[in-house]
A and B are shown apart, each in its own frame.
Chain A
């Protein structure tokens, strides 16, 4: 089912809530996100950032509200147009990185191994590495997971803490790559607790707290990076 209600937006949420029993992981979230931007999703643990990404990816159905992604309300129908990277690596530990990517690529109808090799090289890894993914370091797993998420050249990329356990140099390299993808028209949602890495790259910071979007601000505020406080804390600390 497609809709043209919000033609300019890649993601549109209308009063979206996700309840687990009496606990609301998302509360009446209403927001529109334009194409070709890199959005940072920020907030304390339990704010609903990962839930928001999983709802957009179609992995969780909202309890209430409406959601439109890439012009469609049926998210499974646009599966080939977005990539998702979770906390977990989403890799088979018994297979090498290249074998993992080749399997997932075929699920997207991609049979050319050169595309997988390119994705692996893009994230700074060696496609000929025969080691099984279970023997990778955490940082290598993260990068291979990013390679898996980008191998179908997605229009929309959903990344949940891609820099966790990644060394600073590699994280900066990943951030640069994401900036390039954004410059090529891709829309990126990125949950992170390290906003400084994307200080000059991110277009907008989306602050969440207790399942709600509480603030959207242009770029990444220097104050938040320096002090590490959320807008809620900033407001409550104000005289």
Chain B
């Protein structure tokens, strides 16, 4: 069984499961919308005032909402011990990790596509810098979030309080990536400062943590 085939099948299965249950998407959307609405009512900002802080607000909303999806990823596999069926199958375990990461990336990206226009409306946002930089920051920041979230989600599956443990593990390790994503977003929105360095940092972060996740995933999954 090749890596690519298992990856494709597992990703297709995860998308099908989410399409039918809508567990992750619904809870993420609800949570993110709450954050957008609460912040917009808490601050009465002009477009000039909102540009420097909007990056932070978007990423805080995404970070907290993503944890909901990341918790769902593995609980679905633990229900009825389905993960054991995967563990004994002659399929590469790393492809499971990558399929889950890509699946989560898609879920968080869908969420971002929904809440980005809402941020624009609620905070009167208009980007001064090039929009492609916002897209890059979004893609690289999302990947940083989900690759670590999927990996630490796998670490916490055997603990009783995994819903609590995941953010405790994920948030500290994500701080550098989130700071870079917030900087890249804020610099692009305000047009002050360059987004280049934060974007390069995010790209390197993504490569390093994806490689570490792939390398250690089998050990994590087979640990008792």
Contact = CB atoms under 8 A, between A and B. Distances in A.
A209 B1 CA distance: 39
Interface in B179-211: none
Given A79-B88, A94-B17, A106-B5, A60 B224 contact: yes
A92 B224 contact: no
Most buried by A among B82, B85, B87, B222: B85
Interface in B1-19: 1, 5-6, 9, 13, 16-17
Contact of A91 (B5, B16, B80, B87): B80
A79 B91 CA distance: 9
Contacts of A39: none
B160 interface: no
A93 B80 CA distance: 8
B21 interface: yes
Contacts of A95: 13, 16-17, 20
Contacts of B88: 57-59, 79, 82, 84
Interface residues of B, number: 24
B201 to A, nearest CB: 37
A210 interface: no
A104 interface: yes
B6 to A, nearest CB: 6
Interface in A217-234: none
B81 interface: yes
A107 B89 contact: yes
Given A106-B9, A107-B9, A92 B1 contact: no
B30 interface: no
B85 A90 contact: yes
B17 A90 contact: no
A72 interface: no
B80 A106 contact: no
Contact of B79 (A61, A86, A93, A148): A93
B9 A90 contact: no
12 contacts: A57-B88, A59-B88, A86-B81, A87-B81, A90-B84, A91-B80, A92-B13, A94-B17, A104-B85, A104-B89, A107-B1, A108-B90
Given A79-B90, A104-B85, 9 more contacts: A58-B87, A91-B80, A92-B13, A94-B16, A95-B17, A103-B13, A107-B91, A108-B90, A148-B85
